Structure 1
Amino acid sequence: MTTLMFILGIVVFAVGLLVSIAWHELGHLSTAKLFGIRVPQYMVGFGPTIWSRKKGDTEYGIKAVPLGGYIRMIGMFPPDGQGRVSARSTSPWRGMIEDARSAAFEELQPGDETRMFYTRRPWKRVIVMFAGPFMNLVLAIALFLTVLMGFGIQQQTTTVASVSPCVIAQSQHRDTCKKSDPESPAARAGMKARDRIVSFDGVPTKDWNTLSDLIRDSAGKNVAIVVDRKGHRLTLHAKITENRVARKDAAGNYVGGYVKAGFLGFGSATGVVKQDFGESVTWMGDRVGDAVDSLVALPGKIPALWDAAFGDGPREPDSPMGIVGAARVTGEIATLDIPASQQLAMFVFVLAGFNLSLFLFNMLPLLPLDGGHIAGALWESLRRNLARVLRRPDPGPFDVAKLMPVAYVVAGIFVCFTVLVLIADVVNPVKIT
């Protein structure tokens, strides 16, 4: 049964992956057609075609390897300076440029002269290339909101899980009380497990971060604490003591180290809590920031990833993970002994994170990524407008094909990194159990 559920989890991720890819390419396709660009192909996957159907100018299909997708647009690159496709050069770098230019014109038909990608104004080309990643961002936001507002997320609550009998500095890392340890304010006030703290010193406490900040800021104060105990509200009185507690950042995350702050002396219970729209937006903003930081830090994680794949190094929880690794994680989720609703929420979270990563990765201003084409169109717009202001001749379309040698180098680096991640995901995968 466990194996079957593991396989089912992988299948669910594979379907979600295909939908995400198809959704991404739909953004490119719809905007290209909106601006009159001819699109001969819309394909989900790579390799041999297993199904296709032609409708209008476009062949729609599914290929055998579900690891990506693409659309083909006519005239992705402009012709050379003489208005033609040059003969093949013996120079390998020049040959890359000419091959790319030839491919851009290989399906040119009568009437396509006005339907080529490069003939569209730069702002239209930016929209066409941005539309794909934007669709992933929209899907990520929709999925995150579905989980945050529909299912809820596991977090600390204002319900008391346990009451500490004494005051122990958290930096001491011990649980047992000594005779010299003073009684905790929570124990002295008569607080009990399962009490839900409704307000603290007259301030309503709907979430843990609010309550935690109030306690930390109240060292030395006598405060009234209203708790809900089995449906009845009681008012407890406590004098908040000062203690060495774990340091938190502005978002409420523990960041290491200790500070002196107010201490009440209880452990909070965790639970699945639904978020309102404002809380969801804040949470997503934090996750986008984390994702950007992870993308910037990616090169620095390669040595540890290499050691995890080919040495005896551990696989860190925040290690880069590919499609195979993500599929294994969803397989593990399906085997967890948790409610089906929480399994579904975790599935959706993984898929949402995947789409957010697709958006950020594709926005890198490097060819062959969408961000590279966007950067080329913006550069063309800048130099044409600058020429107009300076009353100089129009420099014409920016020839993105000249950057193809760089694109091949970037693609090679991506392939090597993908292979490294794949090996690590197979021999030393990230595990959630």
Structure 2
Amino acid sequence: MELTGSRPEVVVVGLGTMGAAAAYHLASRGVRVLGLDRFTPPHARGEHAGGSRIIRQAYAEGRAYVPLVQRAYELWRQLGDLAGVELMTQTGGLMLGAPDSVHVAGALASAQAHGLEHELLEAKTIRARFPAFTPEDGEIGLYERAAGIIRPEAAISAHLRLAERSGAELRYGAAVTAWEATHDGVTVRVDGDTVTADKLVVCPGPWAADLLRMTGVPVTLESRLQHYWLPSDPFAIGRCPAWIWEPDGDQVGYGVPAFAPPNDLQGAGPGVGAVVKAAFHTGERPADAELGAPSATPDDLNTMTAWLRSRLPALADSSYIESKPCLYTMTPDGDFILGLHPEVPTVAVAAGFSGHGFKFAPVIGEILADLAQTGHTLHNIEQFAPGRFTAKATGP
């Protein structure tokens, strides 16, 4: 299995969220790229299904993420222009909870550290301004006007289409079973065949535990359920922002305003112009990469509806459509695994995005292209060093 005419300079394993972006950025720089995936992205077996993802700059998960997501905003716009597709829609974003909750206090810290435009809103102001929400008097919200949603399936398709246009060879239905470093590059095992290249980029998604080949890296695979309703007036874009809500002592929920439904949302029926999504960001739902995510049960919907009843009652009372699973590849600290492989400098890895990585896809692709070409990037990715877990496992 070889590229027509010449050996690839870089093989990209996994063409989902991050691999598609990496293949595009490498190919757009004139690099000979071979991309491999066991499925045909976008699909329902990765971490990108569901029709929408939130993008925000006031980043509760840590202020170190802000420069990366700011660059991602630029690259999303460029990608949409090149592909001729609207990928990102500004809806505003609302982080709700107690003043000292992680998602409010963390978002505020990032906004203040980077001078981001934001507003702090009391509960009564939130109820008046955004009538879908009914926070308790002790809760507040950080509102960020620049936040919005991205369409993940369309974004992956755009990256792949532009990668091929730039000369990348992309092969689907090609299951990678192993890889190893050699004296002159890397070899990759694909369905019993061998591919050789100078460099390797591994974007394994749910298969991180097997394909990273990093002993001691404690990634786990979990699933979440995304629930969909037919919208009522309070959930229109302009009246309802994208939101993340961290109630005291309860699960963290999130959702997006009315948007075009995913293509495979069968229960939406013909002619449905928009749906509203809500889901839990936290919770324990183990999943298996080979078997996929477990199906929803009536208890799952009842738990979600009960959570919404006192917070977004109009949504709880709306016409329910169905649920769809998505996968989270988790790290213990919630930070990404991004950088050169700690034992094999000819290999760059991107994994463990812990349920908050999609918004970064184009800048992750840019970083992986930098690493594959030069071994370095100007982006600050020290916090995401792949060796941080293995170093702890082998340290004194």
Q: Structure 2 length as normaliser, TM-score?
A: 0.25
Q: Taking CA–CA contacts closer than 8 Å with sequence separation of 6 or more, which of the two structures ends up with the larger relative contact order?
A: 2
* Structure holding more strand per residue: 2
* Structure holding more helix per residue: 1
Q: Structure 1 length as normaliser, TM-score?
A: 0.23
Structure showing greater Rg? 1
